[in-house]
Amino acid sequence: MELSDQQIHKILESYKKKRMRENKYYHETSKNKEEFILKNRARAKAHYEKNKENKIKKYQDNKELVSAKNLFNYYRKKDNVDKFIEKHETKYNLLKSKNIIE
């Protein structure tokens, strides 16, 4: 199915107009309605309760990686990356294996 440039342009413009219309409707009418606010809070609370264990698990899995990143950034800001590599070789290797640093 080949579309001409004019057809593609028309499709993109109609999509942009639709998104702008939806955005305007949300910000001017929906978001301030009490019914919408309560429904949205209930949805958010249900999502939080449903995924609480997943967040904890994800945090525990990435704890070491986040710690290594923070430590590396600390040394990088102080211009002591060489000291980081000397003192924390395992963390450096972890960051290298995850392709966070070159």
Token duo for residue 24: 């305007």
What per-residue confidence (pLDDT) applies to 84? Answer: 92
> What pLDDT, on a 0 to 100 scale, did the predictor assign at position 34?
95
Confidence (pLDDT) at 102: 77
Token output for 69: 């990143």
Which amino acid makes up residue 1?
A: M
pLDDT of residue 100: 86
By residue count, the chain amounts to 102
Tokens matching residue 97: 């294996």
CB atoms within 10 A of CB 72: 20
Q: How far is CA 23 from the centre of its chain?
A: 21
Positions in the chain whose pLDDT score sits under 70: none
What pLDDT shows up at residue 63? Answer: 94
